[in-house]
Amino acid sequence: MTRPEQIRLRQGEGPSHESLSRAREQFLAGNAPVANMVGVGSGVKWTDHRPTGTPAVLVFVTQKVPDGVLDERDRIPSQLDDGTSTDVVSIGHVTALAAADAVQTRGAVGGLLNASSLASPQALVGRVRPCPLGFSIGNVATTFGTLGGVVYDFLPGASVDPPTAGIGIPSAFYVLSNNHVLAASNEAPLGSAILQPGRGDDGQDPLDRIAILSRFVPIQFAPAVPLDQQQNLVDCAIGQCHAMNATREIFSNGALRGWRRKADVAVGDLVRKTGRTTATTFGRIISADATIDVGYGSAGTARFKDQIVATGMSVGGDSGSLVTTLDNVAVGLLFAGSSQVSLANHFENVRAGLRVEIAEQLS
């Protein structure tokens, strides 16, 4: 059996593009053989809860069902027509991981939790100035999520490529987190107050105002936009703040060193996040190119593509956490999860969508 630390598959080293595309198209078209299928990606096959190292198309389901009780048409073949292995991976019900209501909040497995039950002894819920990454934050219309980064604008005229474009003297500082944390899932008006700590952690406006909502990438939800027409890449937003009110330091883990292009984010990589509810936790990437459906409660379901799926390392309130390597290189922005997995947007996509810098690009 291959040990996890021996596995590192980058883009282009796993299942063939044709195999993955065919599986993804089947899912997107609603023709997936399994009714509880929620996504697809590439990775490696797992046996007895350990990765084998064999490249495979991963089929994500809410719950595994024994072949014996499935109709023949609903069974996932162990291999595709071109010989590519498949693996059915149970990930539970994937939901956005921030509290949407001050009294009841939707947790990692889609159940309702009392907000106070998310305040564990290690929860980062206090008011801090300057505030490190990892602490409670949220729009005045939401309860709480996590401060994921402090970023600044591209220089005027800078483009997304080359990857270092835009690094220089910042024109404005912003706090970074998820759309559903800072912009209330598209509903908060630009200029609205952002509190640290978030309202659900007793943050008050204007006393605890740390920023104002500046911009966000809108999320496409079903049924307003049919799932098969959605092109969501990121759940992210920024709010302008004074440079003295927030710091680029990750709480208890030091300074951020840079960010990594998505082509260099690999299956098998060990990653870390520091979030409002569970502080510092660790996970391992199982797919770096997943297409997956995410529940947002009453807002609806949103389909995201090109996502990082890692082993579980987050619960409700951790949304917005920066996902990094163990030596503090940013790879993603955590936004959703379940009891089994955590989902993150590639930081490269966040950077391009918001047109912001966080640090220099590192390989």
pTM (predicted TM-score): 0.90
Stretch 132-143: mean pLDDT, rounded? 97
How confident is the model at residue 109, as a pLDDT?
A: 29
Please report which confidence band the pLDDT of residue 361 belongs to, taking 50, 70 and 90 as the band edges: confident
Stretch 89-99: mean pLDDT, rounded? 88
How confident is the model at residue 210, as a pLDDT?
A: 98
Please report which confidence band the pLDDT of residue 257 belongs to, taking 50, 70 and 90 as the band edges: very high
Stretch 130-134: mean pLDDT, rounded? 98
CATH class of segment(s) 115-286+309-362? mainly beta
Give percent above pLDDT 90 in the chain: 62
**In whole numbers, what is the pLDDT of the chain averaged over residues?**
85
Cβ contact 289:335 at 8 Å: no
Domain-wise residue ranges, the chain: 4-90, 115-286+309-362
Please report which confidence band the pLDDT of residue 155 belongs to, taking 50, 70 and 90 as the band edges: low
How confident is the model over 156-168, as pLDDT tens digits?
Answer: 555 555 555 555 5
Stretch 58-84: mean pLDDT, rounded? 81
Evaluate if residue 239 carries a pLDDT over 60: yes
* Weakest mean pLDDT among 8-22, 302-316, 344-358: 8-22
How confident is the model at residue 24, as a pLDDT?
A: 73
